[in-house]
Amino acid sequence: MKEIYLGMKHLVYPIFCVICSKPGSKICLSCNSPWMLPSKKAYIKDPPKLVHLYMDNYWMILGKELNSLWYFDKVIIEHLHPVAGKVGWDEQYREANSNEVADADRIELGRYLEEEWKDELAKIKAAVGL
């Protein structure tokens, strides 16, 4: 578990510039690209009250709005999930992937985007200087 945490930590707080691969700081001195947001300026409210299935949609929408999605062709993240046949179903998976939860998450994300998103996005953009 510690190795997974450290791997994820370096995805969020890289130890090198994600643009030119030079060892880095907040602004890469080789390509002058900012790549790490100082934590004291970060503002991200908890995402909408989603249980499971639409959380990826929320982060994708936020990433697109901030023009901050990065795709790395050579990085493969295997989804170890019962739907993919990688692990057995248990009660937690059954509950989180039920039609009821899917419907509730879809409705909540729609409500959030309609009622709260514009104001929250403005706060996030202000916090990151956009």
- How confident is the model at residue 38, as a pLDDT? 46
Same-domain check for residues 56 and 26: no
Instruction: Determine the Cα–Cα distance for residues 130 and 122; give it in Å rounded to an integer.
Output: 9
Same-domain check for residues 25 and 82: no
Same-domain check for residues 93 and 29: no
Same-domain check for residues 72 and 116: yes
Q: 126 or 29, which is more confident?
A: 126
Tally the domains of the chain: 2
Same-domain check for residues 80 and 116: yes
Q: 125 or 35, which is more confident?
A: 125
Q: pLDDT tier at 5 (50, 70, 90 boundaries)?
A: very low
Q: What stretch of H or E contains 96?
A: helix 91-96
Q: In which domain, by residue range, is 105 found?
A: 40-128
Q: 57 or 127, which is more confident?
A: 57
Same-domain check for residues 45 and 98: yes
Same-domain check for residues 26 and 46: no
Query: What's the whole-model pTM score?
Result: 0.62
Region 83-93: mean pLDDT is 87
